[in-house]
Structure 1
Amino acid sequence: MAQAMKIAIVDDEQDMRQSISQWLALSGYDTETFASAEDALKVLGADYPGIVISDIKMPGMDGMQFLKKLMGNDSALPVIMITGHGDVPMAVEAMRVGAFDFLEKPFNPDRMSELAKRATGARRLTMDNRALRRELSDGTQIMKKLIGASPVMERLKEDILDLGQADGHVLIDGETGTGKTLVAHALHAVGSRAGKRFVLVSCAALEEDALSKRLFGPMLPEDAQLPAVEEARGGTLVLEDIEALSDTMQARLLSVINEQGTPAETRIVAISNLQEAGRTSEDVLRPDLFYRLAALRITVPPLRMRGEDILTLFTRLSEQFAEEYGCEAPKVSAQEAAQLLQAPWPGNVRQLINIAERAVLQSRRGSGTIASLLMSDHEEMQPVMTTEGKPLKEYVEAFERMLIDNTMRRHKGSIASVMDELCLPRRTLNEKMAKYGLQRADYL
């Protein structure tokens, strides 16, 4: 849910403050007014969820001094300056200091609304990016994104926590779509480098000359960023598709690693995404580089090995898409649960995300089945029967756990409501929740 944007209006003239506030309120904005820059500074911190509209001429602290204070606190805060006739040179100076734009009195209210719309849009993007960076540096939050309680996922989480505390370079491998980049984020977030830079470069996305420049430089004066090895200094450098590096590039990367010494100043996390059958990163990387990168290694499990996690993931994803599209999430039958569990999932979690979104869309139209979606992804796939692959009891238990979990979340932990919907006595429900590791506190 996007955070509502505010507009702080700062002007020593009460009539001006009120007229601006009323006009913007009619346009749907949440406004607050201040009679002086000093009063406004008590409220406008570095993460103020909105923008500022300020007069440039005020007693005490004037608009220029106020703007410099705001830019010092948060250089990305959009500030629209209001100037009097003949103050255009001052407005130009304000833009140089960091103002978003300016309005010259007497101004057109529609022009002000248009500026406010652009400024709040820019501010929302800044706030969303900051929230994402905080989330990606919060080990607790990012570990929650690794959904699942299967043995292979529990082992993966333990590996992340263990290797996150280590200081060596890491090689992450696994099939495409399994979430290797998320694992790289988690490794960074749970380790001692969490507050440092996290730089990600796809080695397959750039031509060799461009990739060499992006990784090692030299950068031209007009380039906005440092080479990745400099940008990530002290933090984590993630190299996706490490197998795409040429022999020359591998040699340069090895030199960088050797120059760092031990412990490494910058941690390198290499992600291998080989898709050819029977080939590994060891086959395509020069041995000395491979053994430096693979000193610590994580293999992300494919979705087909994650058992009931498939149902948990499908439920969470379909609920997210249902909220996005403003409709109900599709209900999964016992047969569909078995089909989800038995599907081969060559595209792994990425494919499951696609299936969940399409299931929500077709449910909204009132047509289609999960089986038809699975069949369209795998034309060669035969109809799945619950008697194949695993004992029927395992499929029944997986479906039962999913049903109780979904109902508990829908009723926000209300035991009475769950008992009523599932026609279960309290004792039976308690026993089944204990059996499946479900705790009421998680749903409140």
Structure 2
Amino acid sequence: MAQAMKIAIVDDEQDMRQSISQWLALSGYDTETFSSAEEALKVLGPDYPGIVISDIKMPGMDGMQFLKKLMGSDSALPVIMITGHGDVPMAVEAMRVGAFDFLEKPFNPDRMSELAKRATGARRLTLDNRVLRRELSDGGQIMKKLIGQSPVMERLREDILDLGQADGHVLIDGETGTGKTLVAHALHAVGSRAGKKFVLISCAALEEEALAKRLFGPMLPEDSMLPAIEEARGGTLVLEDIDALSETLQAKLLSVINEQGTPAETRIIAISNLQEAGKTCEDALRPDLFYRLAALRITVPPLRQRGEDILTLFTRLSEQFSEEYGCDAPQVSAQEAAQLLQAPWPGNVRQLINIAERAVLQSRRGSGTIASLLMSDHEEMQPVMTTEGKPLKEYVEAFERMLIDNTMRRHKGSIASVMDELCLPRRTLNEKMAKYGLQRSDYLA
């Protein structure tokens, strides 16, 4: 669930504090007020869950000193400064120091609400990204995100652990939507560079000149960041869409790699998202660069090769979306389970996420089927089937495992409740749980 955003109002004038607070409270914000910068600094830490609105002219520590203190503690904290009439030079200086924006007295309350909305949106994104980065720096946590017991997923996790401990450059390829960027995060998190810089650049998102500057420099004096190759020194540089690099930038990257020696100062993880039919990353890159990057290589398996992991993933995703939307997760029938297993999944995990969310929304409305969602994605497919059929026994076992897994999860590991709901004797339930690798300890609240 999205974190509720606060607004800290800092002003030495009580009437101004109260009027701002009342207006923002009417707009749905949670506000707290402070009569001085010194008082506010006791509360406003680096991960403050909100934004700050502060007057510039205050006794004691003035607004500019306050702003500098806040920026020193958390440069991404949005601070809206209130300036007196005609104090434009001071407002410009505040923006240079790092203020999010400014309001000039007398200000329009609607303008303040608009700024607050933009600032809290930016703050929420910053805090969400920080949480994500903390998760991604924890090797154990990120490996848990690579869900699945299929042989291909077991092999993927083993490859990540092995290559994570190595220190060479890595090439990750695979179909779109399979989770290649997540694998790059995992490689960094389980290796010796965990905790060091992790810098991700999309080679397809920038024009060549801008990409060259971002990767290699030189940066201008007013630029706030280092070239990526320097920024990631000692850590990992991930280059998404590596096949989009021009020949000139390929040559520059190869030169940098050769200059680093062994072990590399900056480990490079290249991700290939080549979509052209009949072409591979090897076709797109010059041979000497390709072989330097592909000395260690991981191919992320497509979803259609992951067997009953599809049902496990669908269950986890639908549970997450049902919690987000405040409704029950849809119950999957045997026929729907078979349809999920049979679908070709050209969009892979990304497509499954979309289907799971739409299934929860359909269930909340009390209409629609999983089959209709699959068919709406690929209307030309009649029926929705992979090219490789499976024995009926595999579909039955996959559904049976999903049913026991879901029931154990719903009853938080209560064997008696599961036996009662599924009408199974204790011995039969134990045998099936052992067969499917399900352990009661995984479900205890």
Range into which the TM-score falls when normalised by the shorter chain:
0.7 to 0.9
Q: Deviation at 1:399? A: 0.8
Q: Deviation at 1:77? A: 1.9
**Can you give the 5+ residue segments of structure 1 that lack an aligned partner in the other structure?**
none
* Aligned position for 2:401: 401
Q: Deviations over 1:310-357 (max 9, x none)?
A: 111122233344445555433221122122223333332233234334
The 1-side partners of 2:54 and 2:333 are apart by: 58
The 3-state SS of whatever aligns with 1:162 is helix
Distance 1:76 1:199, change over 3 A: closer
The more displaced of 207-216 and 179-188 is 207-216
The 2-side partners of 1:250 and 1:91 are apart by: 44
Distance 1:88 1:168, change over 3 A: closer
Contact preservation (8 Å) 1:77, 1:123: yes
Q: Deviation at 1:86? A: 7.3
Q: Deviations over 1:230-261 (max 9, x none)?
A: 34333222233334445444333222211111
Q: Deviation at 1:138? A: 2.9
2:426 counterpart of 1:435: no
Distance 1:359 1:288, change over 3 A: same
Q: Deviation at 1:182? A: 1.6
Distance 1:18 1:374, change over 3 A: closer
Q: Deviation at 1:6? A: 1.4
The 3-state SS of whatever aligns with 1:58 is coil
Contact preservation (8 Å) 1:178, 1:301: yes
Distance 1:105 1:413, change over 3 A: farther
The 2-side partners of 1:101 and 1:81 are apart by: 7
TM-score computed with the length of structure 1 as normaliser: 0.84
Alignment of 1:382-401 (within 5 A): 383=383, 389-401=389-401
Q: Deviation at 1:431? A: 4.3
The 3-state SS of whatever aligns with 1:239 is strand
2:137 counterpart of 1:137: yes
Distance 1:95 1:349, change over 3 A: closer
Distance 1:123 1:359, change over 3 A: closer
Contact preservation (8 Å) 1:386, 1:395: no
Q: Deviations over 1:76-112 (max 9, x none)?
A: 2223344567766655544443334445666655554
The 3-state SS of whatever aligns with 2:257 is helix
The more displaced of 128-137 and 301-310 is 128-137
The more displaced of 386-395 and 285-294 is 386-395
Q: Deviations over 1:249-286 (max 9, x none)?
A: 43332222111111101111122344566654445544
Q: Deviation at 1:70? A: 1.6
Distance 1:250 1:366, change over 3 A: same
* Aligned position for 1:179: 179
Distance 1:355 1:99, change over 3 A: closer
Q: Deviation at 1:425? A: 4.6
The 2-side partners of 1:272 and 1:99 are apart by: 39
Q: Deviations over 1:203-252 (max 9, x none)?
A: 45556555545544455667665544334333222233334445444333
Distance 1:381 1:88, change over 3 A: closer
Contact preservation (8 Å) 2:344, 2:384: no
The 3-state SS of whatever aligns with 1:289 is helix
The 3-state SS of whatever aligns with 1:322 is helix
Contact preservation (8 Å) 2:343, 2:386: no
Distance 1:151 1:63, change over 3 A: same
The more displaced of 406-415 and 44-53 is 406-415
**Can you give the 5+ residue segments of structure 2 that lack an aligned partner in the other structure?**
none
Distance 1:8 1:392, change over 3 A: same
What RMSD, in angstroms, separates the aligned Cα atoms of the two structures?
Answer: 3.5
The 3-state SS of whatever aligns with 2:4 is coil
The 3-state SS of whatever aligns with 1:314 is helix
The 2-side partners of 1:209 and 1:93 are apart by: 31
Q: Deviation at 1:388? A: 8.5
Distance 1:443 1:34, change over 3 A: farther
Q: Deviation at 1:396? A: 1.8
Q: Deviations over 1:351-383 (max 9, x none)?
A: 323433444454455444333444455566554
The 2-side partners of 1:152 and 1:93 are apart by: 56
The 3-state SS of whatever aligns with 2:297 is strand
Distance 1:176 1:386, change over 3 A: closer
Q: Deviations over 1:150-197 (max 9, x none)?
A: 122122112112211221001112233322222112112222323333
Distance 1:3 1:371, change over 3 A: closer
Percent identity, aligned pairs only?
93
Distance 1:296 1:361, change over 3 A: same
The more displaced of 16-25 and 297-306 is 16-25
The more displaced of 395-404 and 110-119 is 110-119
The 2-side partners of 1:349 and 1:343 are apart by: 12
The more displaced of 196-205 and 395-404 is 196-205
Contact preservation (8 Å) 1:239, 1:269: yes
The 1-side partners of 2:192 and 2:41 are apart by: 35
The 1-side partners of 2:208 and 2:12 are apart by: 58
Distance 1:336 1:206, change over 3 A: same
The 3-state SS of whatever aligns with 2:183 is helix
Contact preservation (8 Å) 1:338, 1:386: no
Distance 1:387 1:217, change over 3 A: closer
Distance 1:386 1:128, change over 3 A: closer
Equivalences, count? 444
* Aligned position for 1:411: 411
Q: Deviations over 1:375-414 (max 9, x none)?
A: 4555665547999844433322211121122233334445
* Aligned position for 1:232: 232
* Aligned position for 1:194: 194
